[in-house]
Amino acid sequence: MKRQLLTLCMLLLAVPMLWAQSNGQTDFNKNWKFFKGSVNEGEKATLNDDNWRTVRVPHDWAIEGPFSKEYSTRCGGLPFHGEGWYRKHFTLTEEQKGKQVAIEFEGVMNNSEVWINGHYLGKRPFGYIGFEYDLTPYLNEKTENVIAVKVSPEDLSSRWYPGAGIYRKVWLNVNNSIHVGHWGSFVKANNVTSRVATIEIAIDVQNHLKSDEIVTITNKVISPEGKVVKVLNTKTVAEKEATVKSMQSFNLLSPELWSQEQPNLYHVVTEIKDNKGKLMDTYTSRFGVRDIKFTAKEGFFLNGKLTKFKGVCLHHDLGPLGTAVNRRATERQLQIMKDMGVNAIRTSHNPPSRELLEVCDEMGLIVIDEAFDEWKIGKIENGYNNYFDEWHDRDLRDMIRRDRNHPSIILWSIGNEILEQGSKEGWKVANKLATICHEEDPSRPNTAGFNNYGGSIKHKLADQVDVVGFNYKPAKYAELVEEHPDWIIYGSETESVTSSRGVYQDTFLEKYEKHEDKQVTSYDIVGPVWAYPPDMEFKFEKENPSIMGEFMWTGFDYYGEPTPYGGRDNVTNGQWRADWPSKSSYFGAVDLCGFPKDRFYLYQSEWTDKPMLHVLPHWNWKGYEGKEIPVFVYTNAEEVELFLNGQSLGKKVKGVDKATIPVSFRFYEGPNNFESPYRLRWDVPYQKGELKAISYIDGKVINEEVIHTTIKAKSITLEADRQVISADNGEDLVYVTARAIDENGHFCATFNGELSFDVQGAGTFEATGNGDPTMTIVPQSKKLKFFNGMALVIARAKEGVEGTMTITAKGKRLKSATIKVETKLSATAKREL
């Protein structure tokens, strides 16, 4: 969490953004050379790589495809395994010469090895955590330097799509001989009230000199408004060729608390000066002041406010972008989740990107930061279990040290559904990992997600963690609370219903295993044997209020694990090929493009207070005239009236007029037809025309939604998520949604015709998608099909170019559409240009 800044003034200008530009940490992401395949002596500085492809990292080579049945659909049907090489040529500037120079990778997927000028620096098997190497002893100050990175991810090494390559950012860290160490600050707020909080600042001072040095450490604490609220000074001895810790603390009066409603963020600017007063380093840490408390009887409290987890699990891919990290893509994901009512994220099942945690800090989302999906017992042939003994201690400690200043993080998770639950000795591993969490960060509790209900309890693994997470066990909540009254419990993974956006087969409310079209109905009733509709989690949490809430599986669809198609965990050895071309998940409340499915609105109706109303299914049922179509309505209003072609079909009261849905899952012993108080249902004899719902509170109209029977699609409409984006660094993105419309202006919810996109002007084409889990057109294609009336194009602003980006969509026998998006430079970027 660091950025060196030239002056305090620069920091104050950059308060909203932690990672402001500086001369100490340099963006090292452009102009990498890439080659996919084996390279003889690829680490040699003299190797001729002129013919290699030039790429900008973050980069995911596997998302370029092709999608193929040859690759495991459990991992998205994409070529993420094999060998790839990255090389970067650079020359030190005059200011960098004579300094301590290190390279920092935020994440490389996976089994990375790194060289500088042919000198081997090390390896890192785990792709989800960052690392730093000291380059100083091997640098050429007068001639060119070459960094080489070999990446060799293996097949059968992941249970989902992991991506491949240098998929997170890279930095060149240039420091004086005495500086703050890597991830070398820890800012804690203790004894927090609205009146006062004790702030503790721990700084690791690294001395590369061969002599002890007396240094002065100044910590300037800056408020969310950019005002200096405290200056602390201390002197210490920086021991030769060692790292020492400096501790300072003070009482912050009337702190501006970090909360979900007001996520206030402070900064600490640390300055280190030598005994002559020369400034050696400036290091910035961002933190928040908040109080967290967990209780067995009542649940989780944030700043004294009882807070229920309305959470989602998120994998790390970004849909059409693959796993290549992008801040705007991450921000958009989390904005969509907040719109659904989400207040918490579980990083399933690995350490997340820096960007995700920063955005959660800024949005007020709380986070469970998860370390591992495997311990010593493997789930897959080439999984993390092969590296656990050697690497688990460092990987877990590094995750905590990297992430510990984020106020959004409330729990460290040591594992997900680990197979040691079935082992008598498994508790020892859990205890060791939990102890590491306490050693590195005593300010937060730890947790794990347990799916083996009997084993995790019988073998004492649940006793080792501070907060106990259970996956898919709502029917056991009452038993757990009664038999373990001292446990703090939540649903660490819930629901697992599958659905395809906009798909409603003629099976209607039949709970089937598979369908011939490789899709899943969006009535949100179908799932694997452990899964259940959201309604059941709502029900059992309401009956057991001490359960702290849930993290539903999953917020977004992701590449891989196309349950119910393809295969089964721990049965098909990772090679899920039975139901090609199904290759991405159906679990999400939104699809791969971020388009909401119906389940999004069911959660929104329970998790939000802003008036909302949603009707399903579509109303295009030619050939079903007179047959009853189940119509569901989701709302947070009191009652809803439904109309067909102007004729009232009656009012229904939420919670009173219940909707019958089929339910059956493990450990559930209730009726197979559940009367849900969370949905409203009408069985409507089909006739084409207009279906309209009106919601009421206290007899007053609150919302209205209308769906129509549509005729042949005639045109395309385009809608951008933002009208102005940044041109500062060439990283900002705009997401443009295309919809098919008939001649009456109505959305064609069943249209699957072809279209193409074009981007001109101040932007470049980035990717496309449509949310179809069976589509095998790669995201780099400008041509694709609508999926149930919708498609997406992503465009990138050109770096340093102010102007207008023009995006055009065309379709066969469709009227084309064009939209314009402005790209702007900030005042700082203009000065630098």
Q: Would you name the residues annotated as active-site residues? A: 417, 493
Compute how many other C-beta atoms are within 10 angstroms of the C-beta atom of residue 121: 20
Write out 132-193 in H/E/C secondary structure: EEECHHHCCCCCCEEEEEEECCCCCCCCCCCCCECCCCEEEEEECCEEEEEEEEEEEEECCC
Please work out, in degrees rounded to the nearest 5, the angle formed at the alpha carbon of residue 366 by the alpha carbons of 364 and 370: 145
Query: Using an 8 Å Cβ cutoff, are 642 and 634 in contact?
Result: no
Query: Using an 8 Å Cβ cutoff, are 536 and 476 in contact?
Result: no
Tokens of 438: 């306490």
What are the residues whose beta carbons fall under 8 Å from the beta carbon of 9, sequence distance 6 or more?
none
Query: Using an 8 Å Cβ cutoff, are 801 and 762 in contact?
Result: yes
Query: Using an 8 Å Cβ cutoff, are 171 and 27 in contact?
Result: yes
Q: Minimal CA–CA distance to 693: which of 605, 633, 610, 745? A: 633
What is the rounded distance in angstroms from the CA atom of residue 240 to the CA atom of residue 209? 6
What is the rounded distance in angstroms from the CA atom of residue 33 to the CA atom of residue 48? 11
If phi > 0 it is left, if psi is from -120 to 50 it is alpha, else beta; for residue 339 that is alpha
Tokens of 321: 């972008």
Residue tagged 């030039």 (tokens): 54
Inter-helix orientation angle 426-440/388-403, to 10°: 30
Query: Using an 8 Å Cβ cutoff, are 272 and 216 in contact?
Result: yes
> Strand 659-662 vs strand 713-720: parallel, antiparallel, or unpaired?
unpaired
Q: Minimal CA–CA distance to 453: which of 482, 421, 484, 429? A: 421
Query: Using an 8 Å Cβ cutoff, are 652 and 696 in contact?
Result: no
DSSP string for 207-236: E-SSS-EEEEEEEEEE-TTS-EEEEEEEEE
Q: 551-584 in b/e burial notation, b at 16+ Cβ within 10 A?
A: bbbbbbbbbbbbbbbbbeeeeeebebbebbbbbb
What is the rounded distance in angstroms from the CA atom of residue 165 to the CA atom of residue 127? 9
- State the burial class of residue 782 (Cβ atoms within 10 Å of its Cβ: 0-12, 13-18, 19+): middle
How far CA 325 is from CA of 7, 134, 352, 357, 696, in Å, comes to: 29, 24, 10, 12, 43
What is the rounded distance in angstroms from the CA atom of residue 185 to the CA atom of residue 187? 6
Query: How far, in whole angstroms, is CA 266 from its chain's centroid?
Result: 24
Helix (H/G/I), strand (E/B), else coil: 702: strand
What is the rounded distance in angstroms from the CA atom of residue 502 to the CA atom of residue 682? 19
φ/ψ of residue 303, rounded to 5: 55, 40
Q: Minimal CA–CA distance to 815: which of 749, 738, 761, 752? A: 738
φ/ψ of residue 429, rounded to 5: -65, -45
Please work out, in degrees rounded to the nearest 5, the angle formed at the alpha carbon of residue 378 by the alpha carbons of 377 and 379: 130
Write out 64-100 in H/E/C secondary structure: HCCCCCCCCHHHCCCCCCCCEEEEEEECCCCCCCCCE
> Strand 814-824 vs strand 724-726: parallel, antiparallel, or unpaired?
parallel
